[in-house]
Structure 1
Amino acid sequence: MQNQTIVGIDISNLTLDICIRKDNQNQTFIIKNEVKAILGFFRSYQKHELLIAMENTGRYNWPLYEALAQLHQHRVFVVSPLHIKKSIGLVRGKSDKADALRIALFMEKHHRELHQWKPSPVSIEKMKILLAERSYRMKVKRQLLSQKTDYPRMKKTGLNKTLSVMNKKMADLANEQIKLIESAIQDLIHTDEQLAKQAALIRSVPGVGKVLSWMMLAKTAGFTTITEPRKMACYSGVVPFDHQSGTSIRGRSKVSVYADKAIKSVLHLAAMSAIRLKNDLGEYFQRKVAGGKNKMSVLNAVRNKIIHRIFAVIKNQIPYQNLLRVS
């Protein structure tokens, strides 16, 4: 790392706090979180190769992604905020300037362990945005449905009918928007030959529906960022880890709480669907449960198997049923 210039960026909605670290010396800057401002700032570093690190903050990252995709000489890393938080140990106080320095120090220590960020295809970026919008409306819909059960208790106030009608209109609107978003995702996939082929292969796996196929494509960027089923299983929180210390603590193996909860819940629904159908996964579940295994433990194994089957059909470019015949 001698003479290597490291850039730590703390991102907020309107501004970026930037820490430039070289030869154990730090410089800090604040610029607007806009593409034009970002390109202008890094223009003075055109002759340098920078190691640029930032946390994943969702849509606040988008101007940086757009700008840095044009600066090919730099190496960019997008790191989980939890990864940084767990690595820096005990800290006191918090500010955007201090966070930018902490990100730079984290990169200085751990850059060899991290995967470099690469711009995703436009179709993948669009899919991620549409899935985020769908997820938001699904959450709103669930909240509306939960409120619906409370209105009968308001009968004596005379507001129950008015609020029920308003609730229904909002829920119907959320449903319409969800359908429009799902239609837009389908159109997006159909216009991309590679994504269309991959989606068809994924859905040939028992239990896998359209939502899981979309999420797998988005989370793996078309199977380019996550290329191994074991890594995807770990990311999805379906891999059990040992729980022991010395000779006194020997707990059961259990899955980690650090997982993508959204894809884990959809995988659970896929597993529930798969075990109800006539297929090898359903037979596996029944056989293990009949042998005395815990149902939830077996169901988690089914989730894991679904992930491995998805990656198998993508690797072999053969639908699942045909893959069974070949193997």
Structure 2
Amino acid sequence: MIEIESSASKDDKENYSLKTEEMEKRLKQSLGIDVSKSNLSLSLGFLNERLVKEFESRPDVSNDIKGYKVLLKWLGASVDPNVELLVVMEATGVYHQGIAHYLYEHGHSVCVMQSGRVKRYAQSLDQRSKTDALDSRMLSMLGLERNIRPWHPPSKELQELKGLSRERGSLLNDRTVETNRQGAIASSVHSNARALKRHKARLKLLNAQIAAVEEEMRSLIADNEELKRKLEYLTSIPGVSFVSAATVIGETLGFESIVNAKQLASYAGYDVVLRESGNFKGKTRISKKGNSHIRGVLHMPSMTCVRCNPTLKQFYNRLKPNKAKPLVALVAVQRKLLILMYTLWKNERFYDAEFEIKKQQKHEALAARDNNLINQSVS
């Protein structure tokens, strides 16, 4: 009789323990979405008050409005309504945009992560296998462990500006190809006059389309007073044209997700990579693991700036003698130019050629004042 009561008491304790675990308060909940062109892989994670992470998954849903509705219904039945849900996904070109906008419009907090940051987090987990299910679980874990800045949809004008800048870049590449082909045909011993005529017609068409895209970019910005006003801060920099400034703004969507200069440099692939190990001394170079469109559009402005921009010309002349190749100093100018554009955009100020001089004079005045105070205290 005593053993039976003791056994019953033990069962009651186990049931009570299970109920207690089920009723534990959830501190955070995060939905990780691994996005592909056709499907969405899902993993829902919870962090309870014992700081234990639990995950719940379901079969993939299609990456279209039908799949979005299935996902929303599943979330309604699975998440704790008293705890804010954080949705984490990786930026994947255009394929993540549909689900990101859909969940944002339905009141969820969405975070769109840069691929480089997600990759570094995955490497910290020592996760050797790679599947869609594991990636969605990793994204969910990222949302539970880190404080991530929420994503907000960019304005329609900025998205359209980005599309136009990408189209212009593609047309420029096509024009370069056609120009090279035309030159090769013209220089050939057995040149074909009719083929050369067709190449010239295609080249004429590309030039007309490039001009049309640039005019559409100007019209788009002219119709938006705020965008027009803020873009004038960037074009006030000597050497920066309208097209260059508009392309940078379009590619960064108005620097919406950029919080500091270091993050911007990494986003554009200008972050410096140093490789050293023991006696091995590798070359220092930029990573180029970023937005190549920004680096491409800043090449010509940087060459102009080293001739006519008083700040960047002095910066280039100071770096050039210490670099093995002038191009290395020119890349440093591009990085500094990009950060300068970001600073003027955020502070809403025009370019000041004497800013560095004024800054140095201010520091010297503060140092002189401190020295006077020290001398007065000693005397």
Tell me how far 1:201 sits from its aligned partner.
Answer: 0.5
**Distance in 1 between residues matched to 2:319 and 2:45, nearest whole Å:** 55
Could you give the per-residue CA deviations for residues 208-242 of structure 1, whole angstroms, max 9, x where no partner exists?
12232113322433233214223222322334343
- Helix, strand or coil for the counterpart of 1:205? coil
> Once the 2 structures are TM-superposed, how far is the Cα of residue 322 of structure 1 from its aligned partner?
6.9
Structure 2 counterpart of 1:218, from 250, 255, 259: 250
Q: Which residue of 1 aligns with 2:240?
A: 208
Give the Cα–Cα distance (whole angstroms) in 1 for the partners of residues 127 and 203 of structure 2: 45
- Residue 105, structure 1, aligned to residue 138, structure 2: yes
Aligned residues: 318
Match of 1:70 among 91, 99, 105: 105
Sequence identity percentage = 23
Task: Give the one of 167, 187, 197 matched to 1:133.
Answer: 167
Q: For structure 2, which runs of at least 5 residues remain unmatched after alignment?
A: 1-24, 47-52, 360-379
TM-score calculated relative to the size of structure 1: 0.82
Structure-2 separation of matches of 1:77 and 1:319: 32
Q: How does 1:1-327 map to 2 (within 5 A)?
A: 4-22=28-46, 24-35=54-65, 37-46=67-76, 47=81, 49-72=84-107, 74-85=108-119, 87-88=122-123, 89=126, 91-92=128-129, 98-109=131-142, 112=146, 114-152=148-186, 156=190, 160-245=192-277, 247-277=278-308, 279-289=310-320, 291-294=321-324, 295-321=326-352, 324=355
Two-structure CA RMSD over aligned residues (Å)? 3.1
User: Per the alignment, do residues 318 and 116 of structure 1 end up closer, same or farther by CA in structure 2, a change over 3 Å counting?
Assistant: closer
Amino acid at match of 1:105: M
Which letter does structure 2 place at the counterpart of 1:10?
A: D
Using a 3 Å threshold, how does the CA distance of structure 1 residues 184 and 40 change in structure 2: closer, same or farther? farther
Q: Alpha carbons of 1:21 and 1:244: their partners in 2 closer, same or farther (altered >3 Å)?
A: same
Tell me the CA shift for residue 302 of structure 1: 1.8
Whether contact under 8 Å (2:33, 2:139) holds in the other structure is: no
Q: 1:18 to 1:176 in 2, by over 3 A?
A: farther
Q: CA deviation at 1:122?
A: 1.6
* Contact 1:199–1:213 under 8 Å retained in 2: yes
Is the radius of gyration larger for structure 1 or structure 2?
A: 2
SS in 2 for 1:117: coil
* C-alpha deviation, 1:315, in angstroms: 4.0
